[in-house]
Amino acid sequence: MNLNSPRDITAALRAAEIGPKKRWGQNFLVDGNVRRAIVALVDRRQDDRLWEVGPGLGALTELLLAAGPVTAFEIDWGLIAYLRTAFATDPLTIVAGDAVQTLREAAHTEGAPDVVVGNLPYRSAAPILSALFELSRPPRRIVATVQKEMADRLVAPVGTRQYSAFTVAAAAVYRVHRPFDVRPACFYPVPEVVSSVVVMDQRLDPVCAHHRALFRQVKDSLFAGRRKTVLNNLKGRSDLGVRDADHARSLLETAGITPSDRAERVGVEAFGRLTEALAASRGAPS
């Protein structure tokens, strides 16, 4: 089958009695130049463990297999059956089920991946990426195709409207850049939005590596009410060990954060300093 031909893909889907599922946001990549450009960004090293999320009909899979084994995570049983037939003689392992859950399980039982590649379903891209960020050993590199609006959030500078808790979650672990956008016509079915390819390289100095769970709680608490000041969002968080407004103000000032600022004006390193200050104030172990 020509994976660059919507006509061939339609015929293959019809023959297999399967089709793109709107509820999973499935759009198959049908542009050979884009496929090759994405795989060129993978930078797979010898003995790297490579995972692919959302392989679809194998548009990226067939190119990735040229450099070594691939473990693919797919939720659609129709596509799983197709892939098992199409790549029966290749070193492809398929993990069935919801990727957010199966990624965590596979990392625990088989070891975390070095590289993750994925044309991610629009509707589940955020939880999939968050699951990767939160692994005990996050991937060295992630190459993902996502909706352009999500890419905007991932690369948003501090102080902008797109800067969010998701931006901070990514920036704490990764250096993120966006090499190129992908036109809707490069997919079948044609989506109504532009996509972007993002590349995430693990930081050599991850923020707050010793208190990752607390960091996530602090981040989420400051963004809980975007129209509120960070002081107002933090002062009521007795569950985090914040005693009162004065204690919250002291923690913020120790971290170099202006209490009257809103969360979108707080850089990722400042979130880390606040987490460290809070951990020290409540005697949290490393």
Rg of the chain over Cα atoms, rounded to whole angstroms, equals 21
Q: Is the pLDDT of residue 285 over 50?
A: no
pLDDT tens per residue across span 123-168: 899 999 999 999 999 999 999 999 999 999 999 999 999 999 999 9
pLDDT tens per residue across span 251-275: 999 999 999 999 999 999 999 999 9
Greater pLDDT, 197 or 18: 197
Q: Is the pLDDT of residue 22 over 70?
A: no
The per-residue pLDDT for 21 is 57
- Structure token pair of residue 175: 């250096």
123 alpha carbon, distance to own chain's centre: 12
Coil vs helix vs strand at 62: helix
Q: Which residue has the tokens 């015929």?
A: 11
Supply the angle between the helices 125-133 and 99-110 in degrees, to the nearest 10: 20
CATH of domain 6-202: 3.40.50.150
Q: Is the pLDDT of residue 9 over 80?
A: no
Q: What's the CA dihedral at 216, 218, 222, 225 to 10 degrees? A: 70
pLDDT bracket for residue 34 (50, 70, 90): very high
Same fold, 6-202 and 209-281: no
Separation of alpha carbons 50 and 93, rounded Å: 11
Q: Is 77 exposed, middle or buried (0-12, 13-18, 19+ CB in 10 A)?
A: exposed
pTM check: above 0.85: yes
Mean pLDDT on 1-21: 73
> β-strands 70-74, 50-53: how paired?
parallel
pLDDT tens per residue across span 78-128: 899 999 999 999 999 999 999 999 999 999 999 999 999 999 988 899 999
Greater pLDDT, 31 or 13: 31
The per-residue pLDDT for 1 is 72
The per-residue pLDDT for 286 is 40
Phi, psi of 238, rounded to the nearest 5 degrees: -65, -25
The per-residue pLDDT for 86 is 92
pLDDT tens per residue across span 194-250: 999 999 999 999 999 899 999 999 999 999 988 899 999 999 899 999 999 999 999
The per-residue pLDDT for 19 is 62
Q: Is the pLDDT of residue 182 over 90?
A: yes
DSSP 191: P
CATH of domain 209-281: 1.10.8.100
Q: What is the mean pLDDT of the chain?
A: 92
The per-residue pLDDT for 135 is 95
Amino acid at 239: D
Q: Is 40 exposed, middle or buried (0-12, 13-18, 19+ CB in 10 A)?
A: exposed
Domains of the chain by residue range: 6-202, 209-281
Mean pLDDT on 40-51: 95
